[in-house]
Amino acid sequence: MATVLVATQCRWGAPHRSSPRRRFFYPSKNQQKLLTSSALREPKVLAKDLTLSIDPTTEEKDVSEAKLLQEFTNIPNIDKAWIVKSDSENSSHAMFLINQVNLLANKNRTFILSSNISKSTDSVSFQWSPFPVEIQGASAIVPSPSGSKLLVVRNKGQESSTELEIWGPSCLEKEIHIQKLVHGSLYTDRWFEGISWNHEESQIAYIAEEPCPSKPTFGSSVYKKEDSSSKSSVSWKGQGEWEEDWGETYTGKRKPALFVVDINSGEVRMAEGIPRSLSVGQVVWAPLSAQSSQNYLVFVGWSEIGPCNVTRKLGMKVCYNRPCSLYAVRSPFHGSVGTELRFNETENSASAVNLIPGMSSAFFPRFSPDGKFLVFLSAITAVDTGAHAVTKSLHRLDWRVDGKPCPSRNIIEVVPVVMCPKDDGFPGIYNSSLLNDPWLPDGHTMILSSAWGSIQVILSINILSGSVSRITPSNSNSSWNLLDLDGNNILAVSSTPIHLPQIKYGYQYDRMEKENSWHWISVSTPFMGYSEKIKSLLSSQLFSILKIPVKSTSENLPEEESGSTHQNNCRPLIILIHGGPHSVTLSSYSKQASFLSSLGYNLLLVNYRGSVGFGEESLQSLPGNIGCQDVNDVLAALDYVIDKGLADGSKVALYGSSHGGFLTAHLVGQAPHRFTVAAVRNPVCNLSLMVATTDIPDWCYVLTFGKDGKKYFTDAPSTDHLSMFYKMSPISHLSKVKAPLLFLLGAKDRRVPISNGLQYAQGLKDKGVEVKVIVFPEDGHVRFRPQSEFESLVNLAVWFNKHIK
């Protein structure tokens, strides 16, 4: 029976306190059954067509495993859901946005499946539509607040117009084509992204790439200043001045700007008065006021001035340490045609107003239903320390009755940063998104998903009292993701490493109860199907959560031949290490983990100190201690499971991505006798090389120097700094590496450029270590495209089978 071992961190204490302990997912005695339904099918991709360098003696097995991976790949994934209220309080309508990988097309297939929800005193039922409807070419789908209209965004690329479709209950009501001279593609990245219907559902505010500046034209007259429309056989377009972007994921994307479209006329206007030094995103409409005829927009603005006043755009993806604030600006459609006021004719200027000038971090703005409060999240400690992800705080400010925005000096901290949670208590807020409407009907209770140690839970937060409640079951090791709210009820999805995502519907028996009053019903779904083979494999797997002692940061690694290496009859162990480093491996379903465990491997998934979800003190302990504290934590986890007889110390593999690759490379160099084989994906191998090529050079300083990193940061590192970067990197231990290494590299990675992995791989080859390198020309850092992901996992299985089985 295969075992899924997900190693995640629990409460951490300072070295002078009692010994800190870590959590791990490990086998439990209670085996759980899986639910089944018919699977959606994809065309078969023959494993023999893959470039694998398959050993003839194992070809049949390798082909079989590739077919198994395809079965896992075919399982659909719930991306989003929306609930639309009906005329009856006992019924509502749900729409589920579902993704399924289309390997042959090398992209995801997106479809919508609808369901009517019927509620009675003691039951809830879902009546599903008989078939899903595929949505082709849609970049975003956003229902209006009332649910009577649906916006479909179709980004056509840099050289084509953008299309906005407005759908009604029965037909397409409006189609708006926006030429590239107006703006480029809409941002649908879930960070800059902001698509907001106004209260009357007559206008939509959104974030899009500002129009491309005209480029110089060269021809027979040698040079013409501008002429974007002319074409001639004796002229050509020049490149013009290079323009910075926000790094990884945003390559080639122009600056995000704020626009509003009027649905009736189809007219699009850019918001005025926003400083050029700001990149904008996450726009929402401010509440209407009976005392003012003006409509205002609230948005997040990111400064383009980096640490130590570096005047450049640093990488934005998953980087909460970029300074940002909340601003308000008047809608470009400010009044009726006959009474429209010009900005220079009013008392208020057109300039955007910084609503919280005293704060350096604010995002995900949401107005309370009554319009009295503006609530937002903050990652101030990320801006202050340089850590790219931290424990967030929740704040609110009063919104003026007259609706006119002004700087607020009375910002209430609703939920503060938690430094060190006690006895597995609330560790703080760790979320990456908010619902557009996260409110229960009482108007002051916000619902959101957040990491709580190794588990993702759903929280209820009272923005008036600041009280926080965990409303998902406290005795469950499942991870939960919030989908939408249905009045006082909640639609969510729950999963574990050995259970596929299951839709859940939550309600309260007695709303007067303070704690444990939420009850959850499992909803049978027609689309979360999988084959009998997958059912059999997952039902044989087990997991649980363990706490494991770890060393203080001052303790060194064991001597070369020490550590637990005794043999037993356990299956080979793969240690999976997450990147970040300020990220977390949750107790949720993972295709990668399920596939590897189904091949007969036990898995240990480690959340070392520095992972999110365990309090700010633990998180901030890692910068300045990389390559030591995190390495010790992984070895402590390995020693623990070996000593308990749960792993064979002679059959241990490693796999990590990004900072997980950094740790993998460190481990095979610092403890070469402990590991049989390893694989890395976009690994950090040499910080002294990375600092000159990455989109986040400031992070190299924070990783290396800790809290002093921000102070030292420069784009021209000194020789002393470069020497320290090298010393802290895996490449400094390259001469000791013995384990064969597989490298999976994205050629378009701007976070950890491909040169990092290639340099390290070549160094290993030069000293005779077995190395295999696979480069994916069109892939970046965070995500690989479907075919690249598939090929990576197949090669990972072949590599581990070859060297450890």
In 181-240, DSSP assigns E strands to 195-197, 203-209, 217-219, 235-237
Burial of 526 (0-12, 13-18, 19+ CB in 10 A): middle
Q: In this structure, what token pair is assigned to residue 716?
A: 């021209």
Whole-angstrom distance, CA of residue 250 vs CA of residue 258: 17
> Is the separation of the CB atoms in 624 and 609 below 8 Å?
no
In 509-612, DSSP assigns E strands to 518-522, 545-549, 573-577, 602-606
Other C-beta atoms lying within 10 Å of the C-beta of residue 367: 18
Supply the DSSP symbol for 462. Answer: E
Characterize the bridge pairing of strands 455-462 and 445-452. Answer: antiparallel
658 is catalytic: yes
How far apart are the two ends of the chain, measured CA to CA in Å? 16
Whole-angstrom distance, CA of residue 356 vs CA of residue 192: 19
Cβ within 8 Å of residue 41, ≥6 positions away: 74
Residue type, position 77, single letter: N
The dihedral through the CA atoms of 528, 531, 534, 538 has a sign that is positive
DSSP element (H, E) containing 759: helix 754-766
- Three-state SS annotation for 22-39: EEEECCCCCCCCCCCCCC
Catalytic residue (choose from 658, 688, 729, 788): 658
Q: In this structure, what token pair is assigned to residue 397?
A: 């400010």
* Rg of the chain (C-alpha set): 27
Whole-angstrom distance, CA of residue 552 vs CA of residue 621: 10
Whole-angstrom distance, CA of residue 254 vs CA of residue 258: 13
Characterize the bridge pairing of strands 602-606 and 573-577. Answer: parallel
Supply the DSSP symbol for 653. Answer: E
Whole-angstrom distance, CA of residue 605 vs CA of residue 638: 10
- Three-state SS annotation for 381-443: HHHHHCCCCCCEEEEEEECCCCCCCCCCCCEEEEECCCCCCCCCCCCCECCCCCCCCCECCCC
Catalytic residue (choose from 781, 788, 792, 803): 781
Buried/exposed 105-140: b ≥16 CB within 10 Å, e otherwise: eeeebbbbbebebebeeeeeebebeeebeeeeebbb
Q: In this structure, what token pair is assigned to residue 140?
A: 């975003």
Catalytic residue (choose from 62, 486, 633, 749): 749
Cβ within 8 Å of residue 222, ≥6 positions away: none
749 is catalytic: yes
Catalytic residues: 658, 749, 781
